[in-house]
Chain A
Amino acid sequence: MTAGATLNGQCASCSHLTGGMEVSWFLNPGWLIAFPLFGALLLLFFGRRIGQRAGVFASGLLGLSFLVGLILFATQLSHEGQQRTAYVHMFDWITVGSFRVGADLTLDQLSIVMVLVVTGVGTLIHIYSIGYMEGDPRYPRFFCYLNLFAAFMLTLVLAGNLLLLYVGWEGVGLCSFLLIGFWFERAKASNAAKKAFLVNRVGDFAFLIGIFVLAKAASTLSIPLINAAATKGLLSQTQKLFGPGPYLPAGIATVAALLLFAGATGKSAQIPLYVWLPDAMEGPTPVSALIHAATMVTAGVYMVARMSPLFQAGSALTVVAWIGALTALWAALMASFEFDIKRVLAYSTISQLGYMFLANGVQGYSAAMFHLVTHAFFKALMFLGAGAVMHSLAGETDMRKMGGLRKAMPITGYTFLVGWLAISGIFPLAGFWSKDAILASAWHQGQYALWAIGVGTALLTAFYMSRLYFRVFEGPLLVPDEVEAHNGRVHDAPVTMAVALVPLALLSVVGGALNLPGSLILEHFLEPVVGRSEVPGGLTPWLLASTALVAGLAGIALAYLLYVRSDGRARRASLYGRLKVPIVAAANKFYVDELYGRAIVLPGKALANFSAYTLDARGIDGVVRGTGELIAGISERTRRVQSGYVRNYAATFLIGVVILISIVVVRLGAA
């Protein structure tokens, strides 16, 4: 794989791309992909032989990738800010006519952040899975899929062109499908897996068309070149600058960006394609943590940041921001009335992804990335915590059957507490800083409405997470009947699981250090790629931060009133009485699944049935068979003409003669 790696500047498709960083055979981003891919293949073919060592094996390989990531990161840091990009052309992939796409990797500041998150959090979750999946009959296969996922995710992250990005994009979708449906015997799981894949396909369909638009308009799929062309297109509007190379007119850039974003709404579960993510919780919990919280679902966010010049070139960003904001609010509402612990987390994820898109939409790319990173920490943490809870409660996910678990399983409880506070935006945990950065970006862009939605969502977020936390971990001990019946003691997370929980909790606490308002490490690091985002100066940031914090605290307070205080139940009842309709609607996911079912699935099925059994079987094939039957029928009729009576034969003969003679006579008469 890396044998084909050449120094940058030598490939056909990126010959005029020069990054500052040189790569050698070992200092090569290709290894990042190679390790987990190798692991996946090995586990695929020899999984049975590797057996229980599969977990360690897979974790180790991803760990190696993390190590490579760190080395590359260090190498990057040793270069100047503008010289930290490496382009790798591994081999020509699809080259026909003027259309040339290679297997190109781009390692820059943006991608290294993602790489570290994917490999780092990924490794932790791998390790967690060693314990979590223990005893599963398809244990090696699970790690095979996880490794494969990592490989595809890294491909997505490192892709130097949109087509390779698409490879990763669909590849992670595939792994998501495989892992959601890992317990395929369950109808729910296999349905959820199929739903995830299909909904994503719809998004990918738009994404693909976006690729076509760019391939035609920009004559290239290379991400840097497209970005350059888009920037040039933007400049040309104001400055009438026409430099060498293609440029993208703003209109086309908008169309392309929106199509790509439509893909992102699928992958990152935004309105209108978010419906698959809650169902995806049917998969094993580490999968939910890794794929459906920390990494895969953030691919859309990453993609928008990656293609930011393109998005900026037109007016696509407005759409991005609004979709993000609305999704954030929408999902938070649904989360507030959900009782399935994992589904709450899923809606929360959707909501938080909405934040990230909001950030992207207001050009706060580094804020988006910042939140992406911190979210990866605390959401993975909470998922793993939820997994630990389920693990000890025989797979139970209904939070109404739980309570007071913090004392029964302290590690889980306290780490979850960290996660809860972090996502609620409580100072000084990671979530506070990243959320604050997003809201600040929105405010600074003058998008006050978006900002308001963001704040409202922050309140709701704090509310539903507190609701979750209070119900599950606080109050009197309550465990599901089955667990009691089995007389099983509620146990805390085993070591392999704790090993993942604790570091994630730590990261959730200190993650904010990445981008503290004073230092802005991450932002400065990313600046060469995504540009500088203007940070409001003066007193404003403090006010904004305080507002967010107050919103968070208010949410917690509300939850406290409703779920911890002894009169909470009564209050809830009265609230329910007054707001019955919206609450029922929210609890029923606003009937969106049903709407899709009625509006798309049912008519689609009807159309398919009509095509297959009416149009095809009766219509088209009916014509075919009808032709045959018609001929046979005529044949059956004509055979009766052959009556067997010789005088009839003579009569037929005579008819023929008379017809022929008549023709002659008629022409004779005409003459």
Chain B
Amino acid sequence: MPLDLPSVQLGGIGPEITLTVTALVVLVADAIVGNRMWRWYLAAVASVGLVVAGALAIAAWNTSKLQLAGAIANDDFAVFVKVALAVFGILTVWVAREYVEHEAIEESEFYALVLLAVAGMMLMAAAADLIVMFLALETFSIALYVLVGSRRRSLEAQESAMKYFLLGAFSSAFFLLGIALAYGATGTTNLYSVSQGVASQGITGFLGSTPASDLGLLSLGAVLLIVGLGFKIAAVPFHMWTPDAYQGAPSPVTGFMAAATKIAAFAAILRLFDAILFPLRWDWRPLVIGIAIVTMIAGSVAAIVQEDVKRMLAYSSIAHAGFVLTGVIAANDQGVSGALFYLATYGLTVVGAFAVIAVLAGRDERRVRLTDYKGLFYDHPLLAGALTLFMLSLGGVPVTSGFIGKLLVFGAAVNAGYAWVSVIGVLASSVAMFFYLRVMVVMYMQEGDEARPASSVGSLAGGVIALCAAATVFFGLAWGPLFEVAQKATFFAGG
């Protein structure tokens, strides 16, 4: 019996391969060339790798297929997420360029880890098999554990890495248990054969006739999968790591986590729900609604007394996870596209925000408290303006992309008959607005106490901030095209 190898279409994982290779190139180049070259060359190489990966991902647009023995689904959904991830990766690399220098972080390894993390996240977005999803999750998680702790001079950074790691491993075990139970229920870990299995073996009918039966292994497994992914998106009550990790991590990494981890994990959640759980939607929706509500409220409420900007944005990211979940519970194409739009634009905004924070934080991230931002508008009007824009976008004020994202996810929920969840969502976001406004209060309405050491804004970081600001406005005004793309980015076999 010859070995029945699947047709190995490496194109299906082209972006991931490209990124891995680039990561290795960056490492090797640094080892060989060292500091003798143009200061930006590592960043340039990494960026090229990310651009190529993004381009390869785009090439798969509109070709939706399951590849590599059904292990990955290169549908438009995956493409959308992958492109977004590539963009976040590039922006992170750029923001980090100057940052790693003054924080004495090994540049090549930093980039390599970012690239590998993006690779893992891309794999996650496309994963059509639970085990692939698990491996991808672990891949980028491990990269992030290290990145979070990469500011090794700082005990906080180490602490946050430790906490993130321990809790991450803990939650992975639950996720894995979830996979095991799903496997037990269906005999496979493949999402699409799971769903086909559900259909073909008549289990659906069986479920339909006795609504309790799907409450067995599969729903227990599904709950644990939600737990594992909920940990990654920082849904309450699995969010406890978030403030600490966000606070301790280097600001560019925090931005990266907020943007990229979130979209990758949400991609998995959306795919999971789309593939396995939509047939069972009456089972899981109350749970997710509960999580969404708690998350929105807790994230918003907890943030308002924070004094550390990064920590505050960490809570804000928790709240945002709740908002996106509002789109998820709609469980329709509108919800999916809304969530995608939300995540993509939120990512751009939050990367920009953390870029500003990174620039202002200075050596050893000493100035990250809200009081350090006093009177910023008068010293750095452009930085303050950009940060204002990001805060407004996070708050969901019109003419920024954040508003459109909220509009779309809340709209989806309204359309799906969950207007009351949306109402809770908007109330929570009003609470959340308070702390975004606080940032503005500090920047504009209070005088700086002491002479602020002038922060030097590197051209790359400055470029990122400008780009993100421009994107925030652009997708707040001319959001039609991106929305259209997000609408098309539906699932291979979904619905």
Contacts and interface: CB of A to CB of B under 8 A. Distances in A.
B231 A653 contact: yes
B240 A653 contact: yes
B240 A649 contact: yes
B305 A671 contact: no
B455 interface: no
A652 B223 contact: no
A635 B223 CA distance: 28
A459 to B, nearest CB: 76
B171 interface: yes
A671 B223 contact: no
B200 interface: no
B281 to A, nearest CB: 14
Interface stretch (A244-252, A331-339, A557-565, A662-670): A662-670
Contacts of B216: 668
A667 B304 CA distance: 37
A636 B305 CA distance: 6
Contact of A653 (B237, B243, B301, B306): B237
A652 B244 CA distance: 15
Nearest to A649: B240
Residue from the set A652, A660, A668 with the largest chain B CB neighbour count within 10 Å: A660
Contact of A664 (B215, B230, B241): B215
B167 A646 contact: yes
Interface string B56-91: 000000000000000000000000000000000000
Interface string A635-650: 1101100101010111
Interface string B306-319: 10000000000000
Residue from the set A631, A635, A670 with the largest chain B CB neighbour count within 10 Å: A635
Nearest to B213: A671
Contacts of A646: 162-163, 166-167
Contacts of B238: 653, 656
Contacts of A652: 237, 240
A584 interface: no
A624 to B, nearest CB: 13
Given A646-B163, A668-B216, A656 B223 contact: no
B414 interface: no
A592 interface: no
Given A660-B226, A667-B212, A671-B215, A644 B220 contact: no
Given A646-B166, A649-B163, A650-B167, A657 B224 contact: yes
Nearest to A666: B215
Contacts of B179: none
Contacts of B416: none
A634 B305 CA distance: 10
Nearest to B240: A649
B302 A667 contact: no
Interface residues of A, number: 27
B94 interface: no
Nearest to B164: A646
Contacts of A664: 215, 219-220, 223
A642 B240 contact: yes
A100 to B, nearest CB: 44
Contact of B287 (A635, A655, A663, A671): A663
A644 B240 CA distance: 9
Contact of B212 (A636, A648, A671): A671
Interface residues of B, number: 39
Residue from the set A632, A664, A670 with the largest chain B CB neighbour count within 10 Å: A664
Given A653-B167, A664-B219, A671-B212, A632 B304 contact: yes
Contacts, number: 81
B381 to A, nearest CB: 30
Contact of B170 (A634, A639, A653, A670): A653
A661 interface: yes
B220 A661 contact: yes
A661 B305 contact: no
Given A650-B167, A656-B227, A635 B237 contact: no
A621 to B, nearest CB: 17
B210 to A, nearest CB: 7
B304 A668 contact: no
Nearest to A642: B243
Given A667-B215, A668-B216, A653 B302 contact: no
B211 interface: yes
Contacts of B163: 646, 649
Interface string B226-259: 1100110000111011011000000000000000
B301 A657 contact: no
Given A649-B241, A656-B238, A660-B226, A638 B212 contact: no
B243 A634 contact: no
B166 A650 contact: yes
A659 B236 CA distance: 12
Contact of A635 (B219, B243, B286, B302): B302
B215 A657 contact: no
B73 to A, nearest CB: 27
A635 B432 CA distance: 12
Contacts of B223: 660-661, 664
Contacts of A650: 166-167, 170
B166 A634 contact: no
A646 to B, nearest CB: 5
Residue from the set B170, B215, B226 with the largest chain A CB neighbour count within 10 Å: B215
Contacts of B244: 642, 644, 649
Contacts of B267: none
A668 B211 CA distance: 10
5 contacts: A649-B244, A656-B230, A656-B238, A657-B224, A664-B223
Which 10 pairs show the lowest CB-CB distances between chains A and B? Answer: A671-B212, A656-B237, A649-B240, A635-B305, A668-B215, A646-B163, A638-B302, A635-B304, A660-B223, A635-B301
Interface of B: 162-163, 166-167, 170-171, 174, 210-213, 215-216, 219-220, 223-224, 226-227, 230-231, 236-238, 240-241, 243-244, 283, 286-287, 298, 301-306, 431
Given A631-B301, A642-B240, A664-B215, 13 more contacts: A631-B431, A644-B244, A646-B162, A649-B163, A649-B167, A650-B170, A653-B237, A656-B230, A656-B238, A660-B223, A664-B219, A668-B212, A671-B211
